[in-house]
Chains A and B, each alone.
Chain A
Amino acid sequence: MNKMKYRRYKDKAFLYLMFLITIIAITPLASIIFELVAKGFNQLNISFFTEVAPTTLDSMLAKSTGNPVKGGIANGIVGTLQIVGIASLMAIPLGVFVGIYLAENSNKKFSTLVSFSTDLLAGIPSIVYGIIAYAWIVIKITDGYSGFAGSVALSIMMLPLVIRSTEESIKMIPASLKEASLALGTSYRKTILRVILPSAMSGLFTGILLSISRVIGETAPLILTALGSQVINLDITKPTSAIPLLIWEFYNDPYLINMIWSSSLFLMLLVLIFNISAKQISKRWAIQ
């Protein structure tokens, strides 16, 4: 009987221990969010979204006259939308087709090779993509730093994620659906495009959104490619700003410390929105 009691205590203690460890683990996470909100929230005003980032001169002048530094991150927001948008345009169609190919031909040697390369691609540090895009695009094509080079770097980063999620979601579609379509006399191409792909939409979309949220905060590859810009630049062959690039610039400027927090908070919210949308879509569009 005593032994049983002892065991019950041990179970209780184990439960509390797990609880305690969970608390310890989420403490840094909670602190990060708290710090970002506390230090960045009051900077999130209209001008934060409409004005371009202040220069060092602006901030020095403001500081010396005792006024608050004016300015926002409009150039970064526009740049991020542009760089990530073009990266998505390149990576998503490509990745979806590769994913379909892998799912449909999983027992071919070539697929194993592609699959292995995809895994390898996913494991490459992001700065290496930056260097590659620098060598391929900045030097050879746009002849200088450019938003397009940044898009290329980010799109290669997105590829493995899009490929994998497409492959996985297509493999989840039961073979009976494909048979049903073919049994109606449908061609293979239409079976894939009109039956299989729409049925896999939920998984596909989730994967795409997660891949976007994965690259939206990338800084290292952009430093080597897009470089940054003081103004809103819509020419993809010219240096372009981005939110993570601005955070890096603000960090290098002692007068702009407040902008770091608000930009980081905004970036975090952006990623959060993508992640929540991904979850919602996978739930709502899921097909039984």
Chain B
Amino acid sequence: MGNTINNNNIALHIEDLSIAYTKDKYAVKGINADIYKNTITAIMGPSGCGKSTLLRAINRMHELYPEIKVTGNILMKDQNIFKINAMEVRQKIGMVFQRPNPFPSMSIYENVLAGYSLNGIKLKKEEKDRIVQEVLEDVGLWEEVKDTLHKKRTALSGGQQQRLCIARSIAMKPDILLLDEPTSALDPISTSKIEELLMKLKDKFTIVIVTHNMSQAARISEYSMFMYLGDLIEYDLTKKMFTNPNDKRTEQYLTGKFG
């Protein structure tokens, strides 16, 4: 990749990772990549290229579907995430989904703390209040919802819901935050709010985002991956990739020839 990388800067080391939905039909083919700490890495590519599949494997969401087979390793702080307890992995690697999915049976306050309460972690009242305020301020939702924190079924807009979901994830203080097309169901204003939020959050977390939207990748990410038909075609600094891609297919995708 040109620049030498210090090992301490690596948040995730992906090693020969392949993912198959059915036997011999690979959605992700032998990917090797390092994800760098406190950066935003964007994964791009046309529909069906395996980008979401790759992302979901990082916090072992694929295990919900037993037919999916994964080979290879993902190392986090020299620990293979496939060798430790999935629940532990998911507490360290948070995930935000395409469609906002706050828990409808819980209030905003309970949603933010869901990671704690569902994992049986007891907190004092002051500590809860502090986390809720801090996290909601981080996602820029505090002013909007501080009066309805304990009300159930409050009507939040899609963008607010998605920010609440991000709040729910970062409340657990994960090392890594995965986002699977988090703005594809949102309007432009909510989208730009989330983008600003992510740029701010990368100081605290390592962010990996799958996006359909090339300009979004260009706006917010330091590193970009381009995937095509399960292969990682190119992985480089976003600036470099958008100005001078190495692979012809990357160039074609970025210039809208396919995708």
List the interface of chain A (C-beta within 8 A of B): 174, 176-187, 190-191, 194-195, 198-199, 201, 287-288
A-B contact count (CB 8 A): 76
Q: Which residues of B contact A186 (CB under 8 A)?
A: 87, 115, 118-119
Note all chain A residues with C-beta closer than 8 A to B119. 184-187, 190
Please give, as numbers and ranges, the residues of chain B lying within 8 Å of A182 by CB-CB distance.
61, 64, 90
| Interface status of B135 (Cβ within 8 A of chain A) | no
- B6-48 residues with Cβ-Cβ distance < 8 A to A are none
Contact of B115 among A174, A184, A201, A287 (CB under 8 A): A184
> Which residue of the partner chain A has the closest CB to B171?
A184
**A288 in contact with B104 (CB, 8 Å):** yes
Q: Is B104 touching A185 in the complex (CB atoms < 8 A)? A: no
Contact of B153 among A195, A201, A287 (CB under 8 A): A287
* B interface bracket (residues with beta carbon within 8 Å of A): 20 to 34
Q: Does B165 contact A (CB under 8 A)?
A: yes
Q: Say yes or no for B81: interface residue by CB 8 A criterion.
A: no
Chain A residues whose CB sits within 8 angstroms of the CB of B224 once the complex forms: none
Contacts of A184 in B (CB 8 A): 90-91, 94, 114-115, 118-119, 168-169, 172
Neighbouring B residues of A201 by C-beta, 8 Å: 105
B59 within 8 A of A: yes
Collect the chain B residues with CB atoms within 8 Å of residue A191's CB.
118
Best-surrounded residue of A179, A181, A182, A185 (most CB of chain B within 10 A): A185
Shortest Cβ distance from A182 into chain B, in angstroms? Answer: 7
B60 to chain A, nearest CB (A): 9
Q: Determine the chain A residues whose CB is within 8 A of the CB of B102 once the complex forms.
A: 180
Complex: A191 Cα to B104 Cα, angstroms: 13
Q: Are A176 and B61 in contact (CB under 8 A)?
A: no
Q: Can you pick out 27 interface pairs between chain A and chain B where the beta carbons lie within 8 Å of each other?
A: A176-B99, A177-B104, A179-B61, A179-B97, A179-B101, A180-B102, A181-B103, A182-B90, A183-B61, A183-B94, A183-B97, A184-B90, A184-B91, A184-B119, A184-B172, A185-B87, A185-B115, A185-B119, A190-B118, A190-B119, A194-B117, A195-B103, A195-B105, A199-B103, A199-B105, A201-B105, A287-B153
**Interface membership of B187, Cβ < 8 A:** no
Min C-beta distance of A216 to chain B, whole Å: 29
In the bound assembly, the distance between CA atoms of A267 and B174 in angstroms comes to: 58
Interface residue? B76 (CB, 8 A): no
Which residues on A sit within 8 Å (CB–CB) of B153?
Answer: 287
Residue of A nearest to B165 (CB): A180
User: Which residues does chain A contribute within 8 Å of B64, judged by CB atoms?
Assistant: 178-179, 182
Judge if B95 is at the interface, Cβ distance under 8 Å: yes
* Residue of B with least CB distance to A187: B87
Complex formed: what's the CA distance from A181 to B120 in Å?
13
Min Cβ gap A82→B in Å is 32
Residue B147 is within 8 A (CB to CB) of chain A in the complex: no
Known interface pairs A185-B119, A195-B118; A176-B168 also in contact (CB < 8 Å): no
Per the bound structure, the CA–CA distance linking A191 and B101 in Å amounts to: 14
Q: How far is the CA of A207 from the CA of B240 in the complex (A)?
A: 59
- B88 CB-CB contact with A under 8 Å: yes
Closest 9 CB pairs of A and B: A185-B91, A198-B105, A185-B90, A183-B95, A287-B104, A186-B118, A184-B115, A176-B101, A180-B101
A177 to B104, CA, bound (A): 9
The complex places the Cα of A180 from the Cα of B114 at a distance, in Å, of 10
* Given A184-B172, A185-B172; A177-B101 close (CB under 8 Å): yes
Query: How far is it, in angstroms, between the C-alpha of A201 and the C-alpha of B153 when the chains are bound?
Result: 14
Extra contacts, 8 of them, besides A177-B103, A184-B114, A195-B103 (Cβ < 8 A), are A176-B99, A179-B61, A183-B94, A183-B95, A184-B91, A184-B119, A194-B118, A195-B105
Contact B103 A185 (CB under 8 A): no
Inter-chain CA distance A187–B90, complex, in Å, is 10
A185 touches B101 (CB 8 A): no
B139 to chain A, nearest CB (A): 16
| Chain B residues within 8 Å of A176, by CB | 97, 99, 101
Inter-chain CA distance A10–B240, complex, in Å, is 73
* A19 to B172 CA separation, bound complex (whole angstroms): 61
